[in-house]
Chains A and B, each alone.
Chain A
């Protein structure tokens, strides 16, 4: 632990927001008054608490356990950020469609596998990426689509995806299927449709497809993942100064290996999937 702290302290200059090492969790003396990211000077929605929103139900392995103290990859990334800002964390429910509504928010940031895109950045602020996402294709064993080897083999099949995901954009722009993709409110509904053979293939982030294959849909397989170099980011209300401090914490988590450790702990088993050409 001590080694880790020394390391973080030495990397403090990398952090966007901290100008002095007093912001480090380990350093004695607590946050200096000049530090804009010190717990005392942070203006959060609920004073003295970092309030974080996510949708419900929240899905494994992104979230695990009780909504009062989420574990799972995103759960622990957010908790670690809060720890580094020296604030206790509080979770609130935020439906995906509401995350970009105008008006005051009841959370400081929303973390919900939201991909950073240019279009979305016009309406909200994103943190730096905390996970690099690939698209995954889930199909049933023994169906014709399971024989597909590449993206170009896929165009004649019926696809399904959850509304609002970049997976849908991926289907329309990369796979370009002949039949219009079906779009569902939730991944669960898309899974029902796959089980009923109402769709041939379900596209979502690769982690979720592997989770579904292993725990939810019997006799299914992940056809492959398609690297699309997109990043998940936390959503902030536009011009919220807090984003700098969270980026600072994320930067440190990247450089001291915390983020990678969390990724290995929660996501490793979900990322070993062949690449689709």
Chain B
């Protein structure tokens, strides 16, 4: 598709494109100040490993990863339950459907930070035995699960709806129960189709673990904030951003590969 000429043009335009941006940044009147305030190697290095009075950003980042991995598992389960409940037909199940709809509406509409406050400072305030004595990280993960499950439930639902009704009809005519048709025919197809958007949501989730810091735990963004406030230098935030990127980029490339594989498979299917 792209010949020798094409490659030449594309490399030239790429070089010029980035050169113009780099030049604009480098020639900006405050560029040396910004470089010192954000990219000073001394501060980048010190914030990465921490000092006597400031926590290490990379050490704090471990907490982000832990929260992300734990929340992810619960989200996948809770969201699937909500999506399935929302699709159960029949008048008897109306209250269940109503709860599922209400849940998604509520938690997709309320900003995560407010949910964090309500759960993180509200539940402990109630003075209950079990629910009020959990760690802040637990409350934070619960808030993440509640909010993200609402989004992910909608992703699942889109996947379920995208499987043609004739599939269910065919499964039922083979003698499968409604649940069996869902479990063995619809869901496998639905889930495969929604894996790319699911991973997209998880990249968002990964970054939103930083919000848990409002409850007190020191994760990467908070550790960066502590360093910045003590040293009046934002280099620590650059380090935190870099750590988040290291984790999300492989996830993004993995998503791309899955999409490609899915497209290849479908094209192959169409050729049959």
Taking Cβ atoms with an 8 Å cutoff, the residues of A that contact B are 96-97, 100-103, 117, 119-120, 122-124, 160, 163-166, 168-169, 172-173, 180, 182-185, 189, 192-193, 195-199
Q: Is B168 an interface residue (CB 8 A)?
A: no
CA distance A164 to B53 in the complex (A): 11
Q: Are A119 and B232 in contact (CB under 8 A)?
A: yes
CA distance A103 to B38 in the complex (A): 12
Say which residue of A165, A166, A197 sits within 8 Å of B124 (CB atoms).
A197
Which residues in A have their C-beta under 8 angstroms from that of B121?
189, 192-193, 196
Q: Are A198 and B216 in contact (CB under 8 A)?
A: yes
Shortest Cβ distance from residue A157 to the other chain B in the assembled complex, whole angstroms: 14
Q: Are A173 and B53 in contact (CB under 8 A)?
A: yes
Q: Is B97 an interface residue (CB 8 A)?
A: no
Taking CB atoms and an 8 Å cut-off, the chain B residues in 32-70 that contact chain A are 33-34, 36-38, 52-55
Contacts known (A120-B231, A169-B53, A183-B213); A196 close to B124, Cβ less than 8 A: yes
Taking Cβ atoms with an 8 Å cutoff, the residues of B that contact A are 30, 33-34, 36-38, 52-55, 121, 124-125, 132, 136, 213-218, 222, 225-226, 228-234
Q: Are A101 and B37 in contact (CB under 8 A)?
A: yes
Which residues in A have their C-beta under 8 angstroms from that of B222?
163, 183
Interface centre among A117, A164, A196, A197 (most CB of B within 10 A): A196
Closest 4 CB pairs of A and B: A164-B229, A182-B216, A123-B232, A196-B124
Which residues in A have their C-beta under 8 angstroms from that of B231?
119-120, 122-123
Q: Are A183 and B226 in contact (CB under 8 A)?
A: yes
Q: Are A102 and B228 in contact (CB under 8 A)?
A: no
CA distance A101 to B229 in the complex (A): 11
**Residue contacts A-B, CB under 8 angstroms, 5 given:** A101-B37, A117-B230, A122-B232, A122-B233, A165-B229
CA distance A116 to B208 in the complex (A): 33
Which residues in B have their C-beta under 8 angstroms from that of A160?
216
Q: Are A96 and B229 in contact (CB under 8 A)?
A: yes
Contacts known (A160-B216, A168-B53, A193-B216); A100 close to B125, Cβ less than 8 A: no
CA distance A197 to B132 in the complex (A): 10
Residue of B nearest to A192 (CB): B121
Q: Are A102 and B232 in contact (CB under 8 A)?
A: no
Which residues in B have their C-beta under 8 angstroms from that of A123?
37, 231-233
Which residues in A have their C-beta under 8 angstroms from that of B30?
102-103
Which residues in B have their C-beta under 8 angstroms from that of A184?
214-216
CA distance A193 to B230 in the complex (A): 23
Which residues in B have their C-beta under 8 angstroms from that of A97?
225, 228-229
Say which residue of B214, B225, B230 sits within 8 Å of A169 (CB atoms).
B230
For the A-B complex, the count of residue pairs with Cβ-Cβ distances under 8 Å equals: 92
Residue of B nearest to A188 (CB): B121
Which residues in A have their C-beta under 8 angstroms from that of B216?
160, 182-184, 189, 193, 198-199
Which residues in B have their C-beta under 8 angstroms from that of A192?
121, 125
Q: Are B53 and A172 in contact (CB under 8 A)?
A: yes
Shortest Cβ distance from residue B143 to the other chain A in the assembled complex, whole angstroms: 15
Which residues in A have their C-beta under 8 angstroms from that of B34?
102-103
Q: Are A120 and B214 in contact (CB under 8 A)?
A: no
CA distance A38 to B34 in the complex (A): 33
Contacts known (A101-B37, A180-B218); A124 close to B53, Cβ less than 8 A: no
Residue of B nearest to A164 (CB): B229
CA distance A30 to B247 in the complex (A): 63
Residue of B nearest to A103 (CB): B30
Shortest Cβ distance from residue B132 to the other chain A in the assembled complex, whole angstroms: 8
CA distance A100 to B54 in the complex (A): 18
CA distance A193 to B214 in the complex (A): 11
CA distance A166 to B232 in the complex (A): 12
Which residues in B have their C-beta under 8 angstroms from that of A117?
230
Shortest Cβ distance from residue A141 to the other chain B in the assembled complex, whole angstroms: 17
Shortest Cβ distance from residue A213 to the other chain B in the assembled complex, whole angstroms: 20
Residue of A nearest to B218 (CB): A183
Say which residue of A103, A119, A196 sits within 8 Å of B230 (CB atoms).
A119
CA distance A183 to B55 in the complex (A): 11
Q: Are A180 and B55 in contact (CB under 8 A)?
A: yes
CA distance A196 to B234 in the complex (A): 33
Shortest Cβ distance from residue B244 to the other chain A in the assembled complex, whole angstroms: 19
Q: Are B230 and A164 in contact (CB under 8 A)?
A: yes
Which residues in A have their C-beta under 8 angstroms from that of B232?
100, 119-120, 122-124
CA distance A185 to B216 in the complex (A): 8
Interface centre among B30, B54, B226 (most CB of A within 10 A): B226
Shortest Cβ distance from residue B119 to the other chain A in the assembled complex, whole angstroms: 12
Which residues in B have their C-beta under 8 angstroms from that of A185?
213-214
Which residues in A have their C-beta under 8 angstroms from that of B217?
182
